[in-house]
Amino acid sequence: MNPLVIISRKRDGLALTRDQIFDCITAYVAEEIPDYQMSALLMAIYLKGMNADETCYLTEAMLCSGDQLALTEGHGIVVDKHSTGGIGDKVSLLLAPLLACLGFRVPMLSGRSLGITGGTLDKLESVPGFRATLSPSEIDEITTATGCVICGASDAIAPADKLLYRLRDVTATVGSIPLITASILAKKLAENPAAIVFDIKCGHGALMKTPAMARELGRSLIDTSGLLGLSARALITDMSQPLGMMIGNTVEVREAWVAMEQGEPHDLIELTLALATQLLEMTGRQDLQPSLRKTLVSGEASRKFQEMIARQGGDLEQLPDPAWEYVESPQTGYVSDIDSEGIGRLLITMGGGRMRKEAEINHEAGIKLNYKIGDQVRKGQLLAGVTSPSDSSVLDCLASMITIEPESPELRPLIIDTMY
């Protein structure tokens, strides 16, 4: 295998063969291709794209670079969800236990926060004692007993993806549809699921800024999944404001837990149900549809959530309940815009997120919205809050991210599109 031939082909817009892609990934993991050749190839892929077959081969090559989960048979249909990441997105914390309550098996391999995007593992590590790192046999045991687990992918899962992501991150080649597709799917395929639903966030708080970009990624994810024999659908969902009312780690776990008891906030519950509905349809279990909402909000999912956390060493009862400092609404009117990206950045400055992988996180740092887009607010009402201790500059900054106008704004739908 001559890397120059492969780089030249892609540079010239030609498709790579299955052998070329496998050889290239295998050699890179074996350190037989240097970073400087791989980064030239990544830039060529970024600019020239990959067709459906190439994306499929790349996904397989990355999957085959590592181990796959070996789950004992006969304990439910394996399903999963993947979100491209947004502000306040704690859907996994509700969806995994909900699906487990319905008899599915959810070995959800999740990630950590980076940049403005939160990470499910960081959120769960707010719970005292929680272990995000599990061995393959622990994943098998816990999902056999409880139906769900949320943990990190071990280094043995798709090591090529870790190496490539590290290089993409420092060579401006992250935002490529085929590279994103292969990165997402290589890890998810290691779970060997029967069906998967993608939640593709769209808006200024998301990687995909426009519905067109989100649809392009959705198409690529669904088509590549299909070529690999995996049933897949995607929802394009609005990220022009945070999901739910809470943004942060501890506070999002608490919000998810409370939501499963009280049935709100509305957007969080509805998105969880919509994603679950797609999985029921894909697995031919529409018979479960009537009991979906009740299972989610009757306390059943909440108990499953608590059980899963307990099996991973955590005690949800010990979850801290931070105190809040609030900013008042400067005027009467309607909330017309919430700067999701700004809120994500503010959380990082509060220590609740990280710009570098190595950075420590202050789990308790959090932001709370009392109003969402379209809500009416009166001057002097408590508009939003941050966990204390804080200072006035943080509150001023938060206030500046919430736009209030005299007229009621046009509301955007939470679910922009469903893709098959």
209 makes contact with a copy of itself (CB under 8 A)? no
Q: Do 347 and 387 touch, CB atoms closer than 8 A?
A: no
Nearer to a copy of itself, 44 or 200 (CB): 44
How far apart CA 286 and CA 296 sit, in angstroms, is 16
Judged by CB under 8 A, which of 1, 14, 19, 47 binds a copy of itself? 47
Judged by CB under 8 A, which of 156, 172, 323, 359 binds a copy of itself? 172
Minimum separation from the CB atom of position 219 to a copy of itself (A): 22
Is 39 catalytic? The answer is: no
Task: Find all residues with CB under 8 Å of 246, minimum gap 6, and list them.
Answer: 88, 90, 252, 254, 255, 366, 367, 368, 369
Is 393 catalytic? The answer is: no
Site pattern 283..302 for a copy of itself (x: CB under 8 A): --------------------
Minimum separation from the CB atom of position 84 to a copy of itself (A): 20
Q: Do 146 and 311 touch, CB atoms closer than 8 A?
A: yes
Judged by CB under 8 A, which of 68, 144, 171, 298 binds a copy of itself? 171
Residue 19 dihedral angles phi and psi, to the nearest 5°: -60, -45
The catalytically annotated residue of 23, 80, 161, 199 is 161
282 makes contact with a copy of itself (CB under 8 A)? no
How far apart CA 114 and CA 260 sit, in angstroms, is 27
Cis bond upstream, residue 389 (ω within 30): yes
164 makes contact with a copy of itself (CB under 8 A)? no
37 makes contact with a copy of itself (CB under 8 A)? yes
The catalytically annotated residue of 82, 304, 311, 363 is 82
Minimum separation from the CB atom of position 38 to a copy of itself (A): 7
44 makes contact with a copy of itself (CB under 8 A)? yes
Stretch that binds a copy of itself, among 39-47, 88-96, 273-281, 319-327 (CB under 8 A): 39-47
Q: Report the relative pairing of strands 195-202 and 79-83 from DSSP bridges.
A: parallel
Judged by CB under 8 A, which of 110, 173, 181, 272 binds a copy of itself? 173
Minimum separation from the CB atom of position 169 to a copy of itself (A): 9
Place of tokens 């999902």: 143
Task: Find all residues with CB under 8 Å of 108, minimum gap 6, and list them.
Answer: 80, 81, 92, 96, 120, 148, 149, 150, 151, 191
Judged by CB under 8 A, which of 24, 38, 142, 327 binds a copy of itself? 38
Residue 389 exposed, middle or buried by CB count within 10 Å (0-12, 13-18, 19+): exposed
Is 110 catalytic? The answer is: no
- What CA–CA distances, in Å, run from 195 to 226, 234, 239, 284, 366? 10, 11, 24, 10, 34
How far apart CA 56 and CA 223 sit, in angstroms, is 9
Of the candidates 103, 188, 181, the one whose C-alpha atom is nearest the C-alpha of residue 147 is: 103
46 makes contact with a copy of itself (CB under 8 A)? yes
Minimum separation from the CB atom of position 36 to a copy of itself (A): 4
Which DSSP category does 14 fall into?
A: P
Size of the site for a copy of itself (CB under 8 A): 22
167 makes contact with a copy of itself (CB under 8 A)? yes
18 makes contact with a copy of itself (CB under 8 A)? no
Minimum separation from the CB atom of position 44 to a copy of itself (A): 5
Residue 152 dihedral angles phi and psi, to the nearest 5°: -80, 155
Task: Find all residues with CB under 8 Å of 345, minimum gap 6, and list them.
Answer: 116
Judged by CB under 8 A, which of 27, 40, 348, 382 binds a copy of itself? 40
11 makes contact with a copy of itself (CB under 8 A)? yes
Residue 369 dihedral angles phi and psi, to the nearest 5°: -100, 130
Nearer to a copy of itself, 213 or 228 (CB): 213
Angle between helix 35-48 and 18-29 (nearest 10): 140
Stretch that binds a copy of itself, among 36-44, 274-282, 344-352, 387-395 (CB under 8 A): 36-44
DSSP string covering 178-238? HHHHHHHHHHHHTT--SEEEEEEEESTTSSB-SHHHHHHHHHHHHHHHHHTT-EEEEEEEE
Is 303 catalytic? The answer is: no
Question: Exposure pattern of 277-312 as b/e (b: 16+ CB <10 Å)?
Answer: bbbbbbbebeebeeebbebbbeebbbebbbbbbbbb
Stretch that binds a copy of itself, among 37-45, 190-198, 288-296, 389-397 (CB under 8 A): 37-45
Nearer to a copy of itself, 45 or 69 (CB): 45
Stretch that binds a copy of itself, among 30-38, 214-222, 227-235, 258-266 (CB under 8 A): 30-38
| Residues binding a copy of itself (CB under 8 A) | 4, 7-8, 11, 34-40, 42-44, 46-48, 167, 170-173
Catalytic residues: 82, 161, 168, 183, 187
